[in-house]
Every structure is written in structure tokens, then in C-alpha cells.
Chains A and B, each alone.
Chain A
Amino acid sequence: MAANTTAAGSEAAALAGLDRLEIPQARDSVGSRARRIWAALWPKLLAVAIVLAVWELVYLSGWKSAAVLPGPAAVFSDLWAQLHTALLWQAIATTLRRAVIGFGLAIIIGVVVGALVSRIKPLRAAVGSMITALQTMPSIAWFPFAIIFFGVNTAAILFVIVLGAAPSIANGLITGVDYTPPLLLRAGRTMGLGRIAMYRHLILPASLPSFVAGLKQGWAFAWRSLMAGELLVIIMGQPSIGVLLSTYQDQSAMASTISIMIVILVLGLVVDTIFTRIDTTIRGRRGMLDPAVT
């Protein structure tokens, strides 16, 4: 008995020793966080600096008149001035509200369609390829239809956003469900998970990375559709980013036009960064990231 106990004890100790050897040592994180941020930041800052420098050089060369192509300084002072007007903020608010509503509707519709298509075989045969076909359709081509159908109003814009974004979101979900590893499904079944539990605890979490990728792509489509929509569907008395852009075009106000373009770019980038952050977090938790890259 005594011999047995020591044997068991030494075995547990050996296991513990092996575990310690096999677990990768945590890298020191103090101070390295700032360094990591800087490492990710400087190439972007450098790229922006190069673009600004080239722009400034072209401007200085006098190739085009300052009215047609203003320099960076003129544009940024215009942008600064616009940021102090209520009009720009109203426009941003209108545009973002449409983006949120449109993208929200696209998520709801995309998830419902994706869930149904991934579960029901005949529906997949019928609708599956149609979703992909819809995705290849340039959203701007839908506007004549939408304007005739809904009239010149927000509904027309939202309609096109949903058509642009929902297919990507549905496809992301379908792909995720399809690519649930069969081994995990077998494990789930041997564990005695029921049909609903399988979805809730296995298939949905397993498809999350692909779903988020679909959301990210859907957002890109939604944002483009929205910008196209606001340029085509001008609603009186409702300042939006698109209305501002089209107004400045009519006035041939190039500095203001470029200012608005910068606003569009920044807004798109901010949202994209949020999605990238979510994506990285999810994949990091599952060990799907190469530690050498992150």
C-alpha cells in the first residue's frame, strides 16, 4: 500500500513536471505593449506622410491651379473650419444613423436567411447560389429600381444597403456552419447534446470567426452602398455626407470636397478597425493566431 502511494505520488509529480516543461513561458508584457503599438503604428504614419508629401509636391509643381487641386494645408484648414460647423456634424449624424439602421437590418435579415439556408437542404439548393449572385451585383445598379419603388427617400437608401450587406452576412454564417469540424460534431453527439444544445454550444460558437468575417465584408458593402445612395438620392432638408459632397461638387469647391472625402475615409477606417479588433480577439482566444505575427 505504502509503495503504491509513493508510486502514485511520483507519477503525479512527473506529470506536473512534464506539464511545466510543455507550457510555453509567458512573455513579459510590461513595456512591450507600448512597443507593440508603436511597431504597428509607425508604418501607417510613414505611409500617410509619404502620401501628403507627394500631394504637396504635385501642388507645388503648379501642374494644376490651386482651385482645382489645393495643397494639403488648404484642405486641412478647410476641414478644421468645417469641423467647427454644426452642418458637418449633422451630416455625419444622419449618415451614421442610416448606416446603423441599414447595417442592423442587414444583420437581422442576413442571420435569418443564413440560418434557414444552412439548415434546410432544398432551400440551400434554391437560394444558396442566388445569395452569391446577389453579392456580385454592384449595389449602385439597384438604385433606379429602389427610387422608382420607394421614391426619393431614406427607405430607398436603406433598401440598397441591406441588399449590399445581407448576402455577405448570410454567406459568412453559412460558411461557418458548414465548416464546423466534423470531429467536434461527433464529440458533441457522444456527449449527448440535444439538437438545440448542439446549435447553441457547438455550431454557433464554431462559426463565429466566419460570421465576423462576413460582418466585416458586409460593412464594407453597406458603407459603399450608403455613399452611392446619398449621392444619388438627395433628400431635401436633410444634410448628409453625400449631400455635402454633392453640394461642394456643384460649387466646384475642391478643398471642401476633399475634406468630406477624408471624413468618409476616417469613418470607414474606424469601423473597420473595430471589426478587425473583434476578429483578432476571437481568433486569439482560440489559438488561431500566429504569435510571431501579432
Chain B
Amino acid sequence: MSVAHLNGSRSQPVITTAGTEAGIRISEVSKVFGRGASALPALDRLSLEVAPGEFVCLIGASGCGKSTLLNLVARLDAPTSGEISTGGQRPALMFQEPALFPWLTAARNVELALRASGAPKAERRRRAGGLLDVVHLGSFAGKRPHELSGGMRQRVALARALAQDAELLLMDEPFGALDAMTRDLLHDELDKISAERGLTVLFVTHNVREAVRLGDRVVVLSSRPGRVIDEFAVPIRRPRRIDSPEVAGLAATITDRLREEMVRHGS
């Protein structure tokens, strides 16, 4: 009976670190840049909860403070008011650019992220190799970033994010700069990895189809200042395809909702 359960889909992750799973709780968070007359409110009393193991996509037009929100969750910046809890964990963060260190090989880039774990050098080396295998780049361990393609660099960045062994993964339009073919394959990759590891993912994108393709839930933000205006559960079974009619249908509904928001700003 236990064997049968191991073949479960997303709702029953294959590997879970039971009990320690972390979610994200954002309550009434506001962020204002600048002071006085030139003060620019980026987020306005935004509340959002991401359950442990859930994959939530944040979508919104420009100026909705998506990246600001991720920075706050990653604790690169502090909110003006409100609270953010990540269950005491330091989340891993992936950017639109790979942000790899150009003087280090792919393997060394991953190893550097493992330093925080305090593991001895040999152990770090072994685990870095294993993580590169996870993103199918085992044979490129000795290459420097400039010798890799854009998609491969982003996979190294994913391996580096996984190296932190965080259960929370924040992604800031990580596939925005990639071509459609590569992005498609990386969606499959991310799907698999996040399910296998039971990761809690907060994924920012401006691509509605991508959001529907990946998310358990799609959260729509308003523009300037950012606030949650709507959310959509994604009931579509996995594995999903970005060009399937179900994904396209829900994406159209969400796009309409976004358009309404734009019209509201225009008038």
C-alpha cells in the first residue's frame, strides 16, 4: 500500500519533510518608497497566504509591485508596515537574470550556495554535482556561465537556489528572457522538481498562460499600489501543457480580469 502512494501526483508529494514544511504568510503589508511629497506607495495593505507545498503565481500589470513583494519576502528589504512570516526559513530567490558569478564554474556557483549549510568541502562538491544532475547539467559542471546558453544558465541558477535547501522558492520572472521552446522545457523541469521536493513556490510573472501552466493558484494584483484584487484556483490536472485548451481558456478569463483593471486605471 505504501508503494502505491509513492506514485502520487502533486497533491501527494513523493518526498516531503513532514512537519517542517514552511508556507508564507503576508499580512497587511505596505511598502512606500521615498518620503513626503515624492513618496511612492508600491504595496498597499497586501495580504496573501501560501500554504506549505503550494505553487502560487502572482500576476499583474507593470507597477503592481510584484518584485518589491518578493524582495520583502526574501528579506532583502523591509516593509513600511505589516508582517511577513516564512516560518523562520530563509527563502531561495531566483531572478529574471541568472545572476551567476561569472568567475566561477557552474559547479562552483552551486557550491558557494552550499557554504551556508556548513557542510565540509567534499560534501559540498558531491552535492553540487548531484544538483546539477537534477537540472540535467551534470556534464557541464566545469563550464563557466558565459560558455552556457541562457536557458542553461537559468538552470544552473535553479540548481543554486535548490542548494540552499530552502522549502520556499521565490521566483521573479525567471523564464522571462528565454525563448518559448526553452521556457516550455523548463516549465516541465520546475513542475517535476517542485513536486518531488514539496517546495512552496511564489512565482512572479507577467505571462498569464505561464501562470496557469504552473500554478495551483493564480493571484491577480492591482497596479500602483499593489493589492490583491482577485485569485483563481487552477483545477487543471497535471501534467499540463501551455498550449492546451484548458490552460488557454482559464488564461483568457484572467486576462479579461487584468484588462478590466487596466481600464479602471485609464479612466
Residues of B within 8 A of A15 (CB): 136, 185, 189
In the complex, A14 Cα to B136 Cα: how many Å? 11
Q: Residue-by-residue, is B67-111 near A (CB-CB < 8 Å gives 1, otherwise 0)?
A: 000000010100000000000001111010101011110000000
In the complex, A187 Cα to B95 Cα: how many Å? 8
Segment among B146-154, B210-218, B255-263 that sits at the interface with chain A:
B146-154
Q: Does B239 contact A (CB under 8 A)?
A: yes
- Residue pair B90, A192 in contact (C-beta under 8 Å): yes
Segment among B26-34, B112-120, B198-206, B229-237 that sits at the interface with chain A:
B112-120
Residue among B102, B147, B182 with the highest chain A CB neighbour number at 10 A: B102
Q: Does A60 contact B (CB under 8 A)?
A: no
Q: Does B192 contact A (CB under 8 A)?
A: yes
Q: Does B222 contact A (CB under 8 A)?
A: no
Minimum CB–CB distance for A266 against chain B, Å = 33
* B interface residues, how many (CB within 8 angstroms): 38
Q: How many A-B residue pairs have CB under 8 A?
A: 89
Q: Does A234 contact B (CB under 8 A)?
A: no
- Residue pair B192, A183 in contact (C-beta under 8 Å): no
- Residue pair B239, A287 in contact (C-beta under 8 Å): no
Q: Does B7 contact A (CB under 8 A)?
A: yes
Q: Residue-by-residue, is A189-201 near B (CB-CB < 8 Å gives 1, otherwise 0)?
A: 1111100010001
Minimum CB–CB distance for A154 against chain B, Å = 38
Minimum CB–CB distance for B163 against chain A, Å = 8
Query: Which chain A residues in 120-155 approach chain B with CB under 8 Å?
Result: none
Residue of A nearest to B6 (CB): A1
- Residue pair B185, A23 in contact (C-beta under 8 Å): no
Q: A19-B152, A186-B95 are in contact. Are A197 and B7 (CB under 8 A)?
A: no
Query: Which chain A residues in 1-51 approach chain B with CB under 8 Å?
Result: 1, 4, 7-8, 11-12, 14-16, 18-19, 22-24
- Residue pair A11, B189 in contact (C-beta under 8 Å): yes
Residues of B within 8 A of A187 (CB): 93, 95, 99, 101
Residues of A within 8 A of B93 (CB): 186-187, 190
Q: A189-B76, A191-B113, A192-B90 are in contact. Are A287 and B185 (CB under 8 A)?
A: no
Minimum CB–CB distance for A98 against chain B, Å = 34
Q: How large is the interface on A (under 10, 10 to 19, 20 to 34, 35 or more residues)?
A: 20 to 34
Q: Does B160 contact A (CB under 8 A)?
A: yes
Contact of A183 among B7, B95, B103, B113 (CB under 8 A): B95
Q: Residue-by-residue, is B225-267 near A (CB-CB < 8 Å gives 1, otherwise 0)?
A: 0000000000000010000000000000000000000000000
- Residue pair A287, B164 in contact (C-beta under 8 Å): no
Q: Does A277 contact B (CB under 8 A)?
A: no
Q: Residue-by-residue, is B135-176 near A (CB-CB < 8 Å gives 1, otherwise 0)?
A: 011001000111111011000000010001000000000000
In the complex, A191 Cα to B164 Cα: how many Å? 7
In the complex, A14 Cα to B101 Cα: how many Å? 27
* 13 A-B contacts (beta carbon < 8 Å): A1-B7, A16-B136, A18-B151, A18-B181, A23-B148, A187-B93, A190-B92, A191-B164, A193-B116, A205-B101, A282-B103, A286-B146, A287-B146
Please give 11 more A-B residue pairs, beta carbons under 8 A apart, in addition to A205-B103, A208-B103. A11-B185, A11-B188, A22-B149, A22-B152, A23-B148, A23-B149, A186-B93, A186-B95, A187-B95, A187-B99, A191-B115
